[in-house]
Structure 1
Amino acid sequence: MKARLTWLCLLPVLMLAASVQAQIQTNPAQVDSSEVNAVQGPLVKGELFEYSTGGETYQGYLARNVNDKTPRPAVLVVHEWWGLNDYAKSRADQLAALGFVALAVDMYGQGQVATHPDEAGAFSSQVMQDWPAARGRLEAAMTKLSEHPAVADTGMAAIGYCFGGGIVMNMALSGMPIEAAISFHGSPTQAVKNPQPFEGIVQIHNGAEDPLVKREALTSMAKALKAQGAEVKVVNYPTATHGFTSHEADEAAEEYGLPLGYNAAADASSWQAALLALDKALNDN
């Protein structure tokens, strides 16, 4: 009897669901464009972007919204010490969806990607020990990027992660023609021997618990940038350690025993701050 009562209670609900399903099948909804202001969202596509300098070829990754026919400001994305991997490319894709033309640069040449921390350390150290050559690679990328029809002539900016964060800080310190340099858990090693004036925006997003970034070096870099005229902001995120923006940090920490870790709050906060800075620097907002 109880089972029969349950079935009778459910019967009206089942009949209503069947009626709704029938209406969906026989009368599919049509969007009236005269009543709804429907627009096309971004269609982000990435492509190989090669440039050469010093007899070497570099394989960057260019991301842009192909639905947007208006030239847009360009942002360089400088990879971690691993090389130009999927993480750097995903950040370029995000920037492209938000209205920028993003180039994830290749700092090692031929698109090389390290598979072990020892190899990554060797690659990154070689670049940082020869800043003139590193700058030449960046300048080659920027020159070719500026010629792309999708890029506006309103200036460029650069963001970087870990090793790449150190690169963008040194870009600003050497007075390269960028409007903003934004570092995420970047190494503050000063590779520039002769700092030059720089009046753009510099943001340094750092994990407060990061043992790989020495506080003295970070303070020294911030002071050096400020002395050259930069608008410097350093943000230390409580509980965050190295690699806090990358979902792959936890996996690398476990595999190699490195002091890495993803931190969702620090990732979200630093990304929002970076976007606001890019908007101010490149869109004059």
Structure 2
Amino acid sequence: MAAIQTREIQYTAQDGQTLIGYFAAPADTQPVAGILVAPEWWGRNEYTEQRARELAEHGYAALAIDMYGDKKVTTDSQQAYAWMMQTFESSNTIVNRATAALDILKLQAEVDGNKLAAIGFCYGGKVVLDLARANAPLQAVATFHANLSTATPAQVGQVQAEILVLHGELDSMVSLDDVAKFREEMHAAQVAHEVIVFEDAKHGFSNPLADERAKANGVDLGYNADAEQKSLAAMYELLAERLA
């Protein structure tokens, strides 16, 4: 694996919120493709930062983004829900904050601004899907156990990214009906996409702390090592294809 460098980057969203991202990139100076990493509803925590570091080890520059401001994090589902819902209050908040992150990512010396992608986990999956729906200059988007719903469905010619959705068959928060509706949205908008459904996988399947969080909060999450491994492999395959 490549040697990497990391740093925090402060930036400001259109709504005036100060956001603090966590940036990881290969240690050499040649510009490489840039990837946004959007967090679960817990906030920009160690898990999100770990995924950014892994991307850097694979040769990408990655920015784990802050959606709540001041890099707030929690392990309490009620607090996470409250913070997440605040970003739903205005129809523009999610896309504006994600766009601010993409803009700051492009400005980094280590990043080739013509090669951009985004990945997201749970709530972060919605963040990157909404960013793609808003015609962001992304070549690829991958989501893990994502919230697939939107108030602004994709339109023909408005999604530049190829989209990969990685979903757990036993996800009680995002149903297979929700997945079917998402497929219909993508087909109607003529968006290149793939959905992979993992057997015996619950919401949160990619996070080794999912069982611990489920027990502490009484929510239906579950880690699945096989689904984690296969979903990450599919993501890296998409990134390699689209960002070559």
TM-score by length of 2: 0.94
Structure with greater contact order relative to length (CA < 8 Å, sep ≥ 6):
2
Question: In the aligned structure 2, how far is the partner of 1:277 from the partner of 1:138?
Answer: 21
Q: 2:96 aligns with which of 136, 146, 151?
A: 136
Deviations 1:18-50 (A, max 9, x none): xxxxxxxxxxxxxxxxxxxxxxx5222221111
Q: Secondary structure at the match of 1:103?
A: strand
Cα 1:162–1:205 shift into 2, 3 Å: same
Counterpart amino acid of 1:278? L
- Structure 2 portions without partners, runs of 5+: none
Match of 1:236 in 2: 197
Q: Secondary structure at the match of 1:190?
A: coil
Q: Secondary structure at the match of 1:128?
A: coil
Cα distance, 1:227 vs. partner? 2.2
Match of 1:117 in 2: 77
Counterpart amino acid of 2:139? E
Cα 1:98–1:209 shift into 2, 3 Å: same
Q: 1:70 aligns with which of 30, 37, 40?
A: 30
Structural mapping, 1:239-258, within 5 Å: 239-258=200-219
Cα distance, 1:212 vs. partner? 0.7
Match of 1:84 in 2: 44
Question: In the aligned structure 1, how far is the partner of 2:189 from the partner of 2:137?
Answer: 14
Question: In the aligned structure 2, how far is the partner of 1:79 from the partner of 1:220?
Answer: 23
Match of 1:56 in 2: 17
1:272 corresponds to 2:233: yes
1:166 corresponds to 2:126: yes
Cα 1:191–1:106 shift into 2, 3 Å: farther
8 Å CA contact 2:95, 2:130 repeated in 1: no
Q: 1:222 aligns with which of 175, 183, 204?
A: 183
8 Å CA contact 2:25, 2:53 repeated in 1: yes
Cα distance, 1:131 vs. partner? 3.5
Cα 1:159–1:194 shift into 2, 3 Å: closer
Cα distance, 1:238 vs. partner? 0.5
Question: In the aligned structure 2, how far is the partner of 1:129 from the partner of 1:161?
Answer: 21
Q: Which runs of 4+ in 1 moved over 6 A?
A: none
**Higher radius of gyration, 1 or 2:** 1
Cα distance, 1:172 vs. partner? 1.9
Cα distance, 1:129 vs. partner? 4.0
8 Å CA contact 1:172, 1:225 repeated in 2: no
RMSD (Å), alpha carbons: 1.5
| Richer in helix (by share) | 1
Question: In the aligned structure 1, how far is the partner of 2:113 from the partner of 2:76?
Answer: 39
8 Å CA contact 1:73, 1:155 repeated in 2: yes
Match of 1:176 in 2: 136
Cα 1:225–1:194 shift into 2, 3 Å: closer
Q: 1:105 aligns with which of 48, 51, 65?
A: 65
The number of residues matched between the two structures is 242
TM-score by length of 1: 0.81
- Structure 1 portions without partners, runs of 5+: 1-40
Cα distance, 1:108 vs. partner? 0.5
1:259 corresponds to 2:224: no
Q: Secondary structure at the match of 1:69?
A: coil
8 Å CA contact 1:190, 1:221 repeated in 2: no
Cα distance, 1:194 vs. partner? 6.9
Percent sequence identity is 31
Cα distance, 1:229 vs. partner? 2.5
Cα 1:64–1:184 shift into 2, 3 Å: same
1:213 corresponds to 2:213: no
Cα distance, 1:193 vs. partner? 5.8
Cα 1:193–1:264 shift into 2, 3 Å: closer
Counterpart amino acid of 2:243? L
Q: 2:113 aligns with which of 153, 156, 169?
A: 153
Cα distance, 1:230 vs. partner? 1.5
